[in-house]
């Protein structure tokens, strides 16, 4: 008589916030898969639901609380993890029925909570260990987290309180993971952390032996060079403009690393940067940007800025707009300042009224949209390499080397139904708007 195997419990996941949270979700689900759990795409089929929260801004916290509430209403058996787990009392006061609350990157605790809430029936007849890590992104690109935490103490940020000080991964472990991802079909590695430029500082930039011989130093330049030898696109995110970032630009010119830097400038006016407790040498930054473009003319620079920071005057904001005219950044995002519980900026005087924040936000976005439109128009007539993200009928959409997934623009293609996601193809650019390019694959 055939033995009927017990069905494994199913876990649902709601992942909020930044790519770093997404990587945490992938690691949690990979461990649960290895422990014998199945995954549920909806609330109804799940034995327990994980909500991986974001706690960076008050609006993000409210979104997390709404997601927890929805999961409880739809399923009832909910475990909360992630950045907002540091405020367990807030979560439990609003939702006393949650089964457990754990903090950011507390993988063992959250997996243990799942085991307690929905144990896996023991069975010696099946092996449920996955062949490779579970991914929540498309097969052709992967986020590669190289460190946790941050040593900065910016007045508007509570990330160190949520995730701790800088804790870098060993470079040999990072390279092993990257090699596995590339072997499994990854064509683009997106390097992320809280402060990518500081990578290896806590490891004293020591050398670590590699399995096949040789060694690699725990330093961003050395790691980027090694990653660039794996045959995939390598894109760097959250790069603070430390002096050694200059060493990355020749790697971009050589084609080892994508000519793309995601630098969180936050503002340009020296007085605002001082109140933010950020470096405030804006003139030197402009000089360095000019030097980078001299070495690597195609480098794409993206950044984010905060408008309406306490004490920001109209003169400060005009300074930022003039700085953007000089810097000519390719991609820009902006946030209206929000007080975050526990942030030092909350105690600063001279808050900016909400209508003024809105007006400045609109002016900044109009300025950066005009810059983006002009820079994209200059690409019309060129042929650019594009990685395909999706195909729909006879058309397709992808990204150039200047575009990160989800946050930057896209390249929309006609006569491209024969392509497949993950393909990297030359595309002749025919048109452009404020954010996207339009073209056709070259034969």
Q: Which residues are annotated as a binding site for [4Fe-4S] cluster?
A: 18, 54, 83, 150, 154, 157
Sheet holding 188-192, edge to edge: 141-145, 188-192, 233-236, 260-262, 300-307, 331-336
Annotate 91-124 with b (16+ C-beta within 10 A) or e (fewer): beeebeebbbbbbbbbeeebbebbeebbebeeee
What CA–CA distance (Å, rounded) separates 297 from 59? 38
Q: Would you list which residues are annotated within the binding site?
A: 18, 54, 83, 150, 154, 157
């Amino acid at each position: 008589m055939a033995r009927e195997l017990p069905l494994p419990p199913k876990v649902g996941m709601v992942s909020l916030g930044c790519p770093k949270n997404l990587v945490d979700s992938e690691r949690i689900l990979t461990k649960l898969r290895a422990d014998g759990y199945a995954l549920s795409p909806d609330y109804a089929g799940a034995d327990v639901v994980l909500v991986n929260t974001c706690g960076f801004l008050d609006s993000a916290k409210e979104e997390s609380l709404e997601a927890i509430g929805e999961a409880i209403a739809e399923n009832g058996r909910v475990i909360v993890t992630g950045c907002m787990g540091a405020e367990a009392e807030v979560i439990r006061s609003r939702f006393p029925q949650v089964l457990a609350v754990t903090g950011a990157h507390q993988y063992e605790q959250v997996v243990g909570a799942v085991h307690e809430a929905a144990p896996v029936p023991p069975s010696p007849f099946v092996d449920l260990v996955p062949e490779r890590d579970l991914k929540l992104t498309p097969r052709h690109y992967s986020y590669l987290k190289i460190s946790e935490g941050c040593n900065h103490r910016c007045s508007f940020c509570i990330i160190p309180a949520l995730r701790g000080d800088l804790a870098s991964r060993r470079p040999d472990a990072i390279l092993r993971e990257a090699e596995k991802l590339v072997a499994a079909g990854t064509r683009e590695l997106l390097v992320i952390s809280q402060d990518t430029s500081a990578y290896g500082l806590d490891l004293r930039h020591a050398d670590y032996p590699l399995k096949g011989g040789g060694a690699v130093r725990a330093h961003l330049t050395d790691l980027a060079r090694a990653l660039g030898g794996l045959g995939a696109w390598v894109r760097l995110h959250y790069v603070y403009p430390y002096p050694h970032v200059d060493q990355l630009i020749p790697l971009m010119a050589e084609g080892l690393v994508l000519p793309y830097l995601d630098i969180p400038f936050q503002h340009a006016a020296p007085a605002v940067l001082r109140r933010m407790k950020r470096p405030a040498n804006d003139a030197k930054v402009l000089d360095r940007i000019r030097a980078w473009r001299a070495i690597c003319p195609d480098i794409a620079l993206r950044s984010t800025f905060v408008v309406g920071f306490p004490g920001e005057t109209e003169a400060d904001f005009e300074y930022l707009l003039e700085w953007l005219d000089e810097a000519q950044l390719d991609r820009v995002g902006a946030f209206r300042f929000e007080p975050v519980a526990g942030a030092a900026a909350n105690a600063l005087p001279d808050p900016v009224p909400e209508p003024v924040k809105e007006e400045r936000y609109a002016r900044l976005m109009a300025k950066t949209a005009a810059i983006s439109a002009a820079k994209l128009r200059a690409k019309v007539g060129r042929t650019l390499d594009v990685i395909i993200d999706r195909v729909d009928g006879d058309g397709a959409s992808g990204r150039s080397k200047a575009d990160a997934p989800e946050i930057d623009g896209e390249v929309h293609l006609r006569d491209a139904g024969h392509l497949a996601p993950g393909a990297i193809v030359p595309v002749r650019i025919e048109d452009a708007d404020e954010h996207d390019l339009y073209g056709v694959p070259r034969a």
